[in-house]
Structure 1
């Protein structure tokens, strides 16, 4: 039937999956751009980290599932075409068998009619022969009768031979029909099993795809939450670092002021921001180069000084201990 052999069209479903994945990726990129802090120097790796993680979220598995689904659809179409061919062959064999059966029935009817006619003709011919013997005892005269026993016997033999040939042909056609029927049954059962198997695989693929979409949505939510938390933590860390830098600057200024008031020579060396002047604090270059700590003589080795004088900010965790050392030391 047309309903059983109609090819299912899953191109629209696949196109919908691709469009949904594209929209989802665009939405995630937009959310990451909105949730990223404006200070690029504080938290630059967040967008790239989100993009890298999103690019690794089972995209290859989804592509494999889509390829398997398309392969199954192609196999299903091939199986349906084979089933249609088998049905056509079976219908042709049934038509040929019906024609031969009708022909055999007609010949059988003709043969029965010939047999009845032959029986009646034999009786009539027997009577006619007796009459002819009586009337033509001289043997000089002979007339061919088209309804005579010899003609009827020849016709009967021809009909019997044709009937035998038709019976043999009918047996051959029956054997071919049975073989076609068995092949059709086997092919139909195999195709039905394949269709059921393909349906099960398709349902499993749909469930797997749905589960992967849910897992992807969860991972995206977690990534957005982590991005927000990382941005807040980075902002809090920047505020704390600025406060410690300001405090260390004020402490260095106060220490030098106390030493000058007491006419004492300070034994602590201030960093580059104090040597260059307090104006460097307000300039962008000064804010990038300044260091928030005071260096005590003998507190750090020489290579430590070289590392701290290159303009990179010191760790925030070291600032409180250095400030305490500066206050407590004479």
Structure 2
């Protein structure tokens, strides 16, 4: 309770109220609720409580976690870990995060040191399983978060293989906004006598979000409004249509003395993770980014920039115009 209070959690969300009695009792649960409905705490609380209580496995074992959370993206996995860690540390449970796009060295070292809960993206987790760095034969509780998103990304075959590697008698919690695109097959195969809890529809608005519409006339009026919104207290995200617009706004905010950080579409993940401060107090007030899929970032608050060319395959490649350079050398000789 103290860990929740320290995090500003004073009252439960509806999905937490509905699911906690069943999850704490060890039942399989199918929860239907979208992002922002409180799903993370709905499975984090019972996972920590049960692993620290009746499922406590004694001495921590390298590469053999007791709890597993699968998430479709590294961003969600990191967010889940941030929610889990304060609860887990209160019971001396160790959490580690596993995802691709970065070197696996630190993740392997964390597994070798012994972990209780693994929060992972399916692809990298399966890679580490094949390399024998992690085994799921001791997992007591498995959580599949945003299963519909995993289906959209084509992860269900990998997820199926991962779930098949966990003990059949373990507790399984699956959270999804919908049961389309094969998610229902996962439910039928891996959940047993599951209890269904649905708190909202897939397209219903998030109750904790307030929407405001500003009617402005003229470019200067719009510019003044954006600057006022960006200079307020707390953290803010400003979405732009293009990289050019995002960088232009970033320059304007910098000239106005407003700390900011720009995320566009050409930056490698390790540089983003390393540059973005972990402490909320150290972060810039504003983050501006285009509405297209991100892959790059620039910053004036921290002097660095980078570009990333990402083809359809998962391998990172860098292309250099070798032939034009050779012709240029011949021309100058």
Larger radius of gyration: 1
Instruction: Please confirm whether the aligned pair reaches a TM-score higher than 0.5, indicating the same fold.
Output: no
Structure having greater relative contact order (Cα 8 Å, sep ≥ 6): 1
**Greater share of strand:** 2
TM-score (norm 1): 0.16
**Greater share of helix:** 1
TM-score (norm 2): 0.16
